[in-house]
């Protein structure tokens, strides 16, 4: 009972401050609408820009029929944009990022192919990068078409017993391949990413709504952390320590109050997203509930840990804002983590905020069921337990 009494005391204190209501309700709604418009505008700009992958072209066989045919095929591609380079500029251009990769055509390429000497093209690219992998996959189709044309031409020339038949047969086979729509054979997709139009599932609010929900829940660290600081100032905390309440009960009471506040905010934003923005949280209501509970407990426990560590209100605000910006930026709240790569994405995916987004978007974007929310919610609960235990440990040091 004492835990509930302490929680009710905290709640009445929080809701007496009208500024708390402003940040709990009004600001998240305004930011959700703003970010939704920003994502929608950005998607329009992306659609109007050249999305083809820049590929350097180094041709050491300029007079060869095969190299000319390959140049023509790649020039007509909707996926690759050719950038002609000097023979010694391939490595430098790739390192500087001027092009995503460079294709080097060896000297005598056309002649060696006609003589079945299997000449090798060279692709200079980082095959560990998304664009490098995409270029490698994209080039396989036109190169395969080209070499099949060569084989057809050689077989035709051998069948009629006339070497002069090779060039006309090559031209005919290449012309036949040019009528094939390569877009039906291969689709451009950067490795490790989803197509941009799928990042938001048809609506930018599928990113904006859960992203702002999680971000402003994290902003609740300020209110949560200030609770213990204010109690130390008014010596309420010192008086509670003289009672029979254990330190974990005091921390748990504050935790319950902050959880109630954060969960109330989450509920309002879920309802607003569902009714006003068409974000389908209700497709899996139990999954949405489980993720929201895990998120609320993690925020409450982290905020109380900050309140135990911080010495004054200024430190609470500083620690909370630093946490909010780190968790928001790295956790995929402002933009999908699928849009990033490397160390940034690797670090971001272990953030508790990223797990909260993962849980919500398993429902909103990926169309998964309740079971898909259990791991994200479980990890959030593990973070909550860890910060709660740290808070109790630190609180006992203060008490001692």
Whether residues 80 and 220 share a domain: the answer is no
Whether residues 291 and 373 share a domain: the answer is yes
Q: How many domains does the chain have?
A: 2
Whether residues 209 and 326 share a domain: the answer is yes
pLDDT of res. 77: 77
Please check the confidence at residue 2 and state whether its pLDDT lies above 70.
no
Please check the confidence at residue 328 and state whether its pLDDT lies above 80.
yes
Instruction: Please state whether beta strands 101-105 and 122-125 pair in parallel, antiparallel, or not at all (unpaired).
Output: antiparallel
pLDDT of res. 355: 93
CATH of the domain at 129: 3.40.190
Please check the confidence at residue 286 and state whether its pLDDT lies above 90.
yes
Whether residues 288 and 342 share a domain: the answer is yes
197-248 pLDDT per residue, tens: 445 666 778 888 888 888 888 877 777 677 777 777 766 666 666 666 666 6
Please check the confidence at residue 162 and state whether its pLDDT lies above 50.
yes
pTM of the shown model:
0.56
Q: How confident is the model at residue 93 (pLDDT cuts 50, 70, 90)?
A: confident
Whether residues 23 and 86 share a domain: the answer is no
- Answer yes or no: is 221 within a domain: yes
Describe the chain by its helix, strand, coil percentages, rounded to 5.
70, 5, 25
Are 57 and 93 contacting, i.e. CB atoms less than 8 angstroms apart? no
Please check the confidence at residue 183 and state whether its pLDDT lies above 50.
no
- Answer yes or no: is 192 within a domain: no
Whether residues 149 and 273 share a domain: the answer is no
261-272 pLDDT per residue, tens: 888 888 888 988
12-63 pLDDT per residue, tens: 666 566 666 566 666 677 767 776 666 555 555 554 456 678 888 999 988 8
Give me the mean pLDDT over the 161-166 stretch: 64
pLDDT of res. 196: 44
Cα dihedral sign for 253, 258, 261, 263? Answer: negative
Whether residues 101 and 31 share a domain: the answer is no
- Answer yes or no: is 325 within a domain: yes
Percent of the chain with pLDDT over 90: 11
What is the residue-wise DSSP string for 221-237? Answer: HHHHHHHHHHHHHTTHH
- Answer yes or no: is 146 within a domain: yes
Name the DSSP class of 128: T
Whether residues 125 and 105 share a domain: the answer is yes
- Answer yes or no: is 136 within a domain: yes
Whether residues 314 and 215 share a domain: the answer is yes
Please check the confidence at residue 280 and state whether its pLDDT lies above 50.
yes
Whether residues 316 and 179 share a domain: the answer is no
Between CA 114 and CA 119 the distance in angstroms is 10
Please check the confidence at residue 177 and state whether its pLDDT lies above 60.
no
- Answer yes or no: is 99 within a domain: yes
pLDDT of res. 288: 94
- Quick one: tokens of 44? 């329009």
Whether residues 361 and 237 share a domain: the answer is yes
- Out of 142, 165, 187, a domain closes at 187
Give me the mean pLDDT over the 145-150 stretch: 74
Give me the mean pLDDT over the 351-355 stretch: 91
Whether residues 130 and 155 share a domain: the answer is yes
Instruction: Please state whether beta strands 53-59 and 101-105 pair in parallel, antiparallel, or not at all (unpaired).
Output: parallel
pLDDT of res. 292: 94
Task: Supply the range of the domain harboring residue 343.
Answer: 2-44+200-399
């Amino acid at each position: 009972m004492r835990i509930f009494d302490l929680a009710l005391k905290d709640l009445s204190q929080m809701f007496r401050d009208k500024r708390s209501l402003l940040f709990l309700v009004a600001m998240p709604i305004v930011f959700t609408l703003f970010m939704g418009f920003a994502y929608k505008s950005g998607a329009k700009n992306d659609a109007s820009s050249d999305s083809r992958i820049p590929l350097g072209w180094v041709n050491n066989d300029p007079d060869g029929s095969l190299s000319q045919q390959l140049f023509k095929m790649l020039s007509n591609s909707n996926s690759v944009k050719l950038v002609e380079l000097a023979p010694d500029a391939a490595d430098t251009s790739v390192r500087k990022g001027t092009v995503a990769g460079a294709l080097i055509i060896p000297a005598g390429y056309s002649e060696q192919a006609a003589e079945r000497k299997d000449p090798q093209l060279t692709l200079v690219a980082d095959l560990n990068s998304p664009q490098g992998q995409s270029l490698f996959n994209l080039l396989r189709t036109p190169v395969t078409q080209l070499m099949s044309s060569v084989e057809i031409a050689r077989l035709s020339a051998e069948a009629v017993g006339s070497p002069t038949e090779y060039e006309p047969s090559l031209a005919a086979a290449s012309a036949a391949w040019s009528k094939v729509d390569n877009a039906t054979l291969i689709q451009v997709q950067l490795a490790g990413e989803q197509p941009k139009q799928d990042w938001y599932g048809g609506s930018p609010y599928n990113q904006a709504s859960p992203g702002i929900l999680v971000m402003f829940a994290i902003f609740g660290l300020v209110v949560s952390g200030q609770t213990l600081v204010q109690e130390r100032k008014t010596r309420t905390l010192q008086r509670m320590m003289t009672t029979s309440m254990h330190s974990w009960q005091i921390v748990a009471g504050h935790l319950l109050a902050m959880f109630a506040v954060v969960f109330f905010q989450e509920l309002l934003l879920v309802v607003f997203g569902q009714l006003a923005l068409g974000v389908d949280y209700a497709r899996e209501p139990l999954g949405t509930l489980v993720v929201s509970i895990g998120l609320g407990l993690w925020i409450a426990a982290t905020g109380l840990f900050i309140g135990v560590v911080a010495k004054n209100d200024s430190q609470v605000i500083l620690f909370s804002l630093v946490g909010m910006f780190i968790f928001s930026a790295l956790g995929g709240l402002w933009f999908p983590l699928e849009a990033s790569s490397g160390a940034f994405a690797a670090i971001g995916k272990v953030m508790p905020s990223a797990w909260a987004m993962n849980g919500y978007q398993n429902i909103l974007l990926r169309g998964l069921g309740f079971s898909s929310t259990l791991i994200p919610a479980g990890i959030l609960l593990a973070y909550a337990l860890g910060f709660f235990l740290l808070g109790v440990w630190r609180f006992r040091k203060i008490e001692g």
